[in-house]
Structure 1
Amino acid sequence: MITNLPPIADRAAYQAEVDRLRIREKAHTHEGDAIAAARRRLPMVEVDPGITLTGPAGPVTLLDAFEGRCQLIAYYFMWHPGHPASGQCEGCTFYTTQVGELSYLQSRDATFAVFAQGPYEESARYHEFMGWQMPWYSVQAPAVDQLLADRQAGMMYLICYVRDRDRVYETYWTTIRGVEAMDNSYALLDLTVFGRQEPWEDSPEGWPRGWWAEGGGSNLRSNGRPIAHWSRLEAGRSDDLSG
């Protein structure tokens, strides 16, 4: 329930506050540009291009996943084997659902793909249940251990690669809130007066904070399952992933 709202001001006073905030926003944008410039100058590490993934036509290589483009952006989707759709990762579902139109990435010679850390047939049925269109692969041990090196399998990762003919290199990786680069919903909510409505945010007293990040990430679940599932169920899709 909303118990508080910002103070009311006339247009001039409101604009003066927006102008003051805009100075900080521009500094934040410029710092982001500087960080991106530093990211482009990171060294890179070579990766075996022959690491085997599983796609709709069977085994493929990491190099194949580039689809002939120069760059590959891979999202490593956490997976819970044997669970129905309702038991799959709400965070990975949230972020993957945000990625729809791929033509802008492809125009920059970049392929986006999801690397599900579970069996292909099972995870591909989730891909179908959600109605996603991006390339989808399964990457399990030992391939996932090779690709993640010393990083922990079973977590969400966003990893960028570049290829030089038949050689592949990892250029950047991030996890946890770093994968918000895939998201637009939270970015838009951050512009609103009530924000994400989560308890960790610095909001005034009385602001709604009903989306708790407890109990396995309920901030991205509604009535026991990832929020985006409900429209799929209403469309008549089955969340049984067992085949």
Structure 2
Amino acid sequence: MVQDRFGPPDTLKPTDIDRPEPGTGQVLVRVHAASVNPYDWHMLRGDPYAARLTGGVGLTRPKSRVAGIDAAGRVEATGPGVSGLRPGDEVLGFCPGAFAEYTVTTADLLVPKPPNLTFEQAAAVPMGAVTALRGIHTVGGVRAGHRILINGAGGGVGTFAVQLAAAADAEVTAVCSTRNTDLARSLGAAHVIDYTREDFTASRPATTSSWTTWATTRYAHSAAPSPRRAPWWPTAAAPRAMSSARWPRC
């Protein structure tokens, strides 16, 4: 799927392009499945506009014609200097240009695909899980005995955040919509608040820490936390190298 200008989804079109070749430290991946994140929506629109000035997105047109970042597939070939991966290996990770049959990425942005996951399931892991991992463990320092409120618990990042916090033996309060309340409980939330029926910002439970997976209008009206509570932490950016992160058990 190629994009030659910023705009709505109809700017995307299927096109034949040359297969990329891996360079030093790079891996050619044959994509079996790719997932869509808010990141891809921003790249599609070139939004926010300030991001265009950084050079990573492109100023007047997309810097990369092929979108997508999260993928799962098989290693097709490796470039010089790559060790630990070989053709045929099943992998998942950050793969710029994931909305194509083949994509090239650096070896440190890939990890082996767990055999109990399908390619479709694995493709949904990278950005959501690593963002949650950094937010819960690296930034939040959540551990046993903590009480944590997760706003946006029914989303891609939120569902991983609930599982990671619960796995750390923290007491999780999940905030989500009605349709996701049962899901949040099944993932390990001890308490669930349906934000369509209750304003958690007006009567949120005492927590060791609070964490939101996405900035929302409702969150914007939140009162400042009291000294007894840790500050609200925004979603952390994905790490440069996935191999340095502890992956959640799938």
Q: Which has the larger radius of gyration?
A: 1
Relative CO higher for 1 or 2, CA cutoff 8 Å, sep ≥ 6?
A: 1
Do they fold alike, i.e. is TM over 0.5? no
With normalisation by structure 2, the TM-score equals 0.28
Instruction: Please state which structure has a larger fraction of its residues in helix.
Output: 1
With normalisation by structure 1, the TM-score equals 0.29
